[in-house]
């Protein structure tokens, strides 16, 4: 099942319309909290406010804003052609690191940036880790003295193709050459992911969309790997799909997860509706029996009030898809002469 309502994680201007969460659990609480989440606000698809924002929790369900720290952590870039996105959280010794992307919408150039703080929550200035073209959704893990990052590179001018890449090294500023991973979800294009180190290797949640559509039709899949390079589906079907009439009826966006010692998963997934409203939901349990632990906690518009916006958004999408198919048909027809 899907979450019946998004968590009430207050972000920009008292809105809970947030996406791209990343959650870590610290057995030794950091600044008094064992759970930390970074996300980006995304009200009505406004990428200019998609700036990394952090919250903390004692239970992984109720999230607090921490007084005295910047909110968001980083302001929007001055260049109107660029925006921030895809924040990631990492604990390194006694510091909390936030990695986020800055994307140029015209050139598709991507910069990986990092800020960090100690238990005093005094955040550093941004440092550039890496620069790329077409990269999205970095997922970082540490293993001993080695730092790992996986990210997806979308093929320029071809939304039907992407590749999963991996880099590793002794530090965030000294990552080695990239290696292409194997990840095949038949009929789907991988888009966003989160990776978790487990006893048997690695597990990942991958957001992917059907070939011939676009990323706004994504669902969530679970994959496993022994070496972090060869990933296989644990199930042929998605573990979370867009609902029929819920708050998450259009797209399942980037998601993050923890796995408890007893095998229970906790998945914080971001999603959006046809009416362009977004949020972060929580499900927990086994992958084939995920349940909403917080039914009724969040306040969301009723389906009746949501309906006009959802209908308008769906009709707009179908009209755009029809125009796109018509243009492709004309091109193919002309090419045949």
pTM: 0.92
| Domain assignment of residue 287, given as a range | 12-300
On whether residue 2 sits in a domain, the answer given is no
Q: Is there a domain that residue 110 lies in?
A: yes
Q: What is the CATH number of the domain that holds 267?
A: 2.115.10.20
Q: Does 247 lie in the same domain as 126?
A: yes
Do 193 and 53 reside in the same domain of the chain? yes
CB-based contact 122:66 (threshold 8 Å): no
The verdict on residue 331 lying in a domain is yes
CA 300 to chain centre: 21
Beta strand extents in 144-178 (DSSP E only): 146-154, 162-169
Is residue 264 in some structural domain? yes
The number of beta carbons lying within 10 Å of the beta carbon of residue 38 is 25
Q: Do 97 and 112 meet the contact criterion of CB atoms below 8 Å apart? A: no
Q: What is the pLDDT of residue 302?
A: 58
**Helix ranges (DSSP H) in the chain:** 303-335
Say if residue 204 is in the same domain as residue 337.
Answer: no
Task: Collapse the DSSP code of 285 into the 3-class scheme (helix H, G, I; strand E, B; otherwise coil) and give the result.
Answer: strand
172 shares its domain with 314: no
Placement of tokens 């791209």 in the chain: 20
Mark whether 65 and 136 lie in a shared domain: yes
Confidence at residue 333, expressed as pLDDT on a 0 to 100 scale: 44
How many angstroms separate the CA atoms of 164 and 181, rounded? Answer: 5
Q: Is omega for the bond preceding 72 within 30 degrees of 0, making it cis? A: yes
The verdict on 126 and 165 lying in the same domain is yes
Which residues neighbour 71 within 8 Å (Cβ) at sequence distance 6 or greater?
Answer: 53, 65
Number of domains in the chain: 2
Residue 98 forms beta bridges with which residues?
89, 115
Tens-binned pLDDT, residue by residue, of the chain (337 aa): 899 999 999 988 888 899 999 999 999 999 999 999 999 999 888 999 999 999 999 999 999 999 999 999 999 999 999 999 999 999 998 999 999 999 999 999 999 999 999 999 999 999 999 999 999 999 999 999 999 999 999 976 556 789 999 999 999 999 999 999 999 999 999 999 999 999 999 999 999 999 989 999 999 999 999 999 999 999 999 999 999 989 999 999 999 999 999 999 999 999 999 998 999 999 999 999 999 987 554 444 555 676 777 777 777 877 876 666 545 554 444 444 4
**Residues 179, 260 within the same domain:** yes
Task: Tell me if 7 is assigned to some domain.
Answer: no
Judge if 332 and 296 occupy the same domain. Answer: no
Cα dist. 232→88, 139, 151, 228, 254 in Å?
Answer: 23, 17, 16, 11, 19
Using only C-alpha atoms, the chain has a radius of gyration, in whole angstroms, of 20
Whether 3 is in a domain gets the answer no
Is 150 inside any structural domain?
A: yes
Residue in the structure block whose two tokens are 């071809």: 158
How many Å apart are CA 140 and CA 124, to the nearest integer? Answer: 19
- Cα 96 from chain centroid? 19
Domain check: are 315 and 282 in the same one? no
pLDDT for 299 equals 47
Both 222 and 336 in one domain: the answer is: no
Beta-bridge mates of residue 140: 149
Residue 1 lies in a domain: no
The reply to whether 170 and 268 lie within a common domain is yes
Query: Do 160 and 23 belong to one domain?
Result: yes
Cβ neighbours of residue 301 under 8 Å, at least 6 residues apart?
277
């Amino acid at each position: 099942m899907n979450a019946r309502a998004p968590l009430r994680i207050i972000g920009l201007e008292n809105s809970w319309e947030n996406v791209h969460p990343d959650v870590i659990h610290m057995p030794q609480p950091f600044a008094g909290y064992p759970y930390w989440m970074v996300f980006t606000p995304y009200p009505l698809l406004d990428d200019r406010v998609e700036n990394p924002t952090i919250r903390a929790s004692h239970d992984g369900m109720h999230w607090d804003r921490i007084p005295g720290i910047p909110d968001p952590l980083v302001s929007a870039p001055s260049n109107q052609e660029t925006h921030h996105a895809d924040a990631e959280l990492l604990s390194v010794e006694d510091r909390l690191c936030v990695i986020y992307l800055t994307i140029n919408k015209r050139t598709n150039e991507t910069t990986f940036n990092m800020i960090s703080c100690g238990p005093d929550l005094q955040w550093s200035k941004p440092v550039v880790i890496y620069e790329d073209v077409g990269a999205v959704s970095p997922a970082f893990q540490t293993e001993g003295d080695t730092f790992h990052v996986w990210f997806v590179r979308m093929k320029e001018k071809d939304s039907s193709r992407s590749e999963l890449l991996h880099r590793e090294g002794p530090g965030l500023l000294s990552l080695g050459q990239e290696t292409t991973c194997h990840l095949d979800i038949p009929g789907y294009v991988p888009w966003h992911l989160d990776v978790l180190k487990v006893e048997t290797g690695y597990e990942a949640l991958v957001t992917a969309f059907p070939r011939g559509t676009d990323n706004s039709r994504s669902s969530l899949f679970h994959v496993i790997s022994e070496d972090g390079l060869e990933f296989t589906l644990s199930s042929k079907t998605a573990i979370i799909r867009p609902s029929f009439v819920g708050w998450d009826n259009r797209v399942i966006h980037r998601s993050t997860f923890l796995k408890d010692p007893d095998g229970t998963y906790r998945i914080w997934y971001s999603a959006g509706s046809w009416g362009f409203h977004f949020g972060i939901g929580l499900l927990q349990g086994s992958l084939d029996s995920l349940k909403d632990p917080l039914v009724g906690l969040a306040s969301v518009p009723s389906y009746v009030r949501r309906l006009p916006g959802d209908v308008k958004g769906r009709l707009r999408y179908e009209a755009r898809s029809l125009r796109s198919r018509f243009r492709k048909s004309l091109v193919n027809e002309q090419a045949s002469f």
